[in-house]
Amino acid sequence: MQNIWAIQTQAQAGGEDWSAQVRPAAGAMGAYVDGIDLASLDAEAFAEVQRLIHRFKAVMFHGQRSDMAWDAYVDFGAGFGELAVDPYVEPVLPDHPQVMGLIREADTTGYNFGGDWHSDGSYLEQPGGLTILWGRDIPPYGGDTLFTNLELAWHQLSPAYREMLDGRRCLHAATGLGTKAPITRKGDYASVNFDQELSRIEHFHPIKRTHPETGGHSLFVNQAYSVQIEGCTEDESAGILKFLFDWSASPAMTARLSWQPDSILVWDNRTTAHYAIGDYGGFRREMYRLAVTGERPE
């Protein structure tokens, strides 16, 4: 039997007629795009941005305005739907509570948020839709973001395995921060007391998820938040989930997107999981996130 780390998949098809300059990031998914100003999109250009995201699942838009107004950034995100406000973290911009600051100073040694495979908010009743991340101050190297194509991961499973999983649900769970936590020093994303008694947020979602706009099917589990398959014993569930986590992290299913200054990265949490690599200690990084509210998975 072939080792899952040696899996081969077809590369992304090319040749689409894009008005922008598009360079695929890897064979599995992802793209770098030049020639689109996200601060001044007309209806036609916005439709192309949506089509790029559906096609590549994670898209880094280079060459954005370094002086883009916060209003323009928020308006861009709101074009995709309702923007979520994190209930546990104080906003860094009081006039724009939808904007979450992700700032690490060069001397920060704290916990690396996002440093495991996850899909944003999959434990919520309505998990995250799109995530938008603006890199304002980027290290000269390091801090790449890894993605896995969960649509590809679903379709690369054998028909028998898909049949076993189809129609089953998985419990997604996470522990909330409990109360809003102010940023107490430069570089902190949030102050977290891991010894505090915290509330647990959990919901069941289908393992095979259908995208509400494209109709495509994806594997919807992730290492950070997926904890138990409905109807299975704890041991059975652990074995199946361990395989699915390893399967979806197979190199041929993934893409590694490298940051450049003046870039905005947009990804679809319905069809991807991601991993924030924390290999830039000694460099400052300043990023700002918008989270587009998703829908209840079906």
Residue 112, pLDDT > 90, answer no
pLDDT digits (tens, 9 = 90+) for 257-296: 999 999 999 999 999 999 999 999 999 999 999 999 999 9
Residue 158, pLDDT > 70, answer yes
Measured over the CA atoms of residue 241, residue 111, residue 194 and residue 95, the dihedral's sign is negative
Domains of the chain: 19-293 (3.60.130.10)
What's the order of all strands across the beta sheet hosting 226-229?
Answer: 200-206, 169-175, 226-229
Would residue 207 be called left, alpha or beta, if left means φ above 0 and alpha means ψ between -120 and 50 degrees? alpha
In this prediction, residue 2 has a pLDDT band, given cuts at 50, 70 and 90, of: low
Could you say which DSSP state residue 84 is in? P
- Per the CB < 8 A criterion, the answer to whether 21 and 15 are in contact is no
Mean pLDDT of 24-37: 97
**How, if at all, do strands 58-61 and 31-34 pair?**
parallel
